[in-house]
Amino acid sequence: MTVRLAPVSIPTLPPPSLPTPTTGQLRRAEAALVKAGFSPGAVDGRVTPAFTRALQEFQKAWGLPATGLLDAKTSEKLTYTADRVKKHAKAKDLFVSVGQKSRDIKVLEQRLAKLGYKVGRADGIYGKDTAEAVKAFRADQSELDDGAGWLSKKAREVLRREVGALAHAPERRRVAPSKAQTRIDRDTAVAARTGLSEGARGAAVKNVQAHLKAAGFDPQHVGGAFDERTTGAVKAFQQQSKLPVTGTVDARTWKALQKSLILSSKPAAPAQALQERSGAVKASEKLLQSLGFNPGKVDGLFDRSTLKAVRAFERQQGLKVDGTIGTNELAKMKALTRGVTLGQLHRIMPSLPMSKARAYLPLLNRAMAEAKINTRQRKAMFLAQLAHESVQLRYFEEIASGAAYEGRRDLGNVHPGDGVRYKGRGPIQLTGRSNYRAAGRALHLPLEAKPKMAAQPAVGFRTAAWFWTSRGLNRLADQGNFREVTRRINGGFNGLSSRLTYYRRALAAL
């Protein structure tokens, strides 16, 4: 016989209630919350919605149940946190750790998140996730060996630098092509069809990391493990490439990323262009600089300053202005920079201070390039005449007043004061209103209205080159007719022996 028992109802006991905190305890809790950076409202010993919210935020930071109730464990952590904040209040370094809230912490979280670290919600509350992210960041940076869970001044500087390094357009590197690279690129393209994301490992991931580094988005680790820093680098690359920011290398991302390596052994084929970073670009920047163009910092990065210099060079040489350096442009620059070196200039004009020689050299070479003074004979004659006329480039303005040229109609000095106004200036001593007017028109400079401009080295070398060209002196130099070159510059043969001494010295140096 089966006996059925009636179900027994077991009463549910209510959870044990917490003792109601005293006004003093509440005040101490409120004060501790304020010290930690939270906003509990007025420190008045009352339980308010603001106090409850602040307490919940604090409890979440420590990984405690977010009840909003002032229990013993919460009180213990509040006391500990307040004491820690007080201890470090006078420290020169920013000290932040678990249980604190501030605007600085929010900035730290945002920057860590940009690098790919898991900080949870970047809300300015230093919780366990933030602490782990900080430790991971410090472990990834070889220059930071302190494993503590806060960020020192140096660590914050490194973090700022690492984040800043991601804020640029994707770069490209020029590398020698190889069958191995072609093969791994093909394998990576296959892997990208299904997507490469955090947790993936292998040769394809290692290739992605190499391309990220080439593009200027250093994933820090390049061993083939797709970690959080690789995710951060991929996201930054996608953002700068105007791709969906997913952190996953799909087919579209890989297609863009593959362009970060220019597989070529030639310095300008394909042409150097904006955002290439290579030794070839650095060599081109040096060439531009020696021609008198300013590529900005000579660092191997084809940036906006380099682009501006290239375009100026193209315009000057009558080339297609596309802002790239192809084989033809590079050959042209090399040909034009076969001017004179610093050592050669010093041997020809030993009294010229080296500081001035360095400053004048790019201006001189640019002017010589403009005038096609590009053979040994032409350069030797040109430099000899300049050395004599300017006393080894020491004087860019005639010492005499210029009154001797007053009324010289053959020089175009037809107005009172023209002799003084248009006296000899520049390393070849450009003289007379007519010459100032003609040079100004040819060089697109207001020399007639502002004749003193001709005494500026940047202008003076160009007026000297213009005078040389306008008198057909390259042809005479090619013929070896030094006397006629002298006559056309001087109007006679004044100082011929001195000029010849410089000429022989220049031939020996060149």
128-140 and 153-164 helices cross at what angle (nearest 10)?
Answer: 80
Whether 140 has a pLDDT exceeding 50, the answer reads yes
Region 345-364 average pLDDT: 92
Residues in contact with 331: Cβ distance below 8 Å, sequence separation at least 6, in sequence order: none
pLDDT-based confidence at residue 474 (cuts at 50, 70, 90) = very high
Domain definitions of the chain by residue range: 23-87, 103-164, 173-263, 279-336, 342-509
CA distance 458 to 468: 16
CATH of 342-509, one of 3.30.540.10, 3.40.50.11540, 3.40.50.720, 1.10.530.10: 1.10.530.10
Asked whether the predicted pLDDT for residue 341 surpasses 90, the reply is: no
Question: Does the pLDDT at position 109 exceed 50?
Answer: yes
| CATH fold group of domain 103-164 | Muramoyl-pentapeptide Carboxypeptidase; domain 1 (1.10.101)
Q: For 386-422, how does the pLDDT look when each residue is reduced to its tens digit (9 = 90+)? A: 999 999 999 999 999 999 999 999 999 999 999 999 9
Q: Which residue has the higher pLDDT, 312 or 212?
A: 212
CATH of domain 173-263: 1.10.101.10
Predicted local distance difference test score (pLDDT) of residue 334: 85
Say what percent of the chain tops pLDDT 90: 79
Ranking 83-97, 109-123, 136-150, 233-247 by mean pLDDT, the lowest is 136-150
Compute and round to an integer the Cα radius of gyration of the chain: 37
- Statement: residue 218 has pLDDT above 80: yes
Looking at residue 5, its pLDDT comes to 52
DSSP strand pairing (261-263 vs 173-175):
parallel
Q: Could you tell me which of 341, 384, 360, 362 has the C-alpha nearest to residue 477?
A: 384
DSSP character string of 438-502: HHHHHHT--TTT-GGGGGSHHHHHHHHHHHHHHTTHHHHHHHT-HHHHHHHHHSS-TTHHHHHHH
Q: What is the mean pLDDT of the chain?
A: 91
Cα 149 versus chain centre, distance = 32
SS (H, E, C) 305-318: HHHHHHHHHHHHCC
133 touches 121 (CB < 8 A): no
Architecture of domain 279-336: Orthogonal Bundle (1.10)
Partners of 261 in beta bridges: 173
Q: Is the pLDDT score of 14 beyond 70? A: no
- What does the alpha-carbon distance between residue 392 and residue 298 come to, in Å, rounded to a whole number? 29
Could you give the angle at the alpha carbon of 303 between the alpha carbons of 297 and 309, nearest 5°? 75
Measure CA of the first residue to CA of the last residue in the chain; give whole Å. 126
pTM as predicted: 0.67
Q: Which secondary structure element, helix H or strand E, spans residue 369, and what is its range?
A: helix 354-370
pLDDT for 1 beyond 50: no
Q: Please classify residue 100 by burial: count the beta carbons closer than 10 Å to its beta carbon, then call 0-12 exposed, 13-18 middle and 19+ buried.
A: buried
Alpha-carbon gap, residue 383 to 98, rounded angstroms: 72
Domains 103-164 and 342-509 share a fold: no
Q: What average pLDDT does this structure show over 190-215?
A: 97
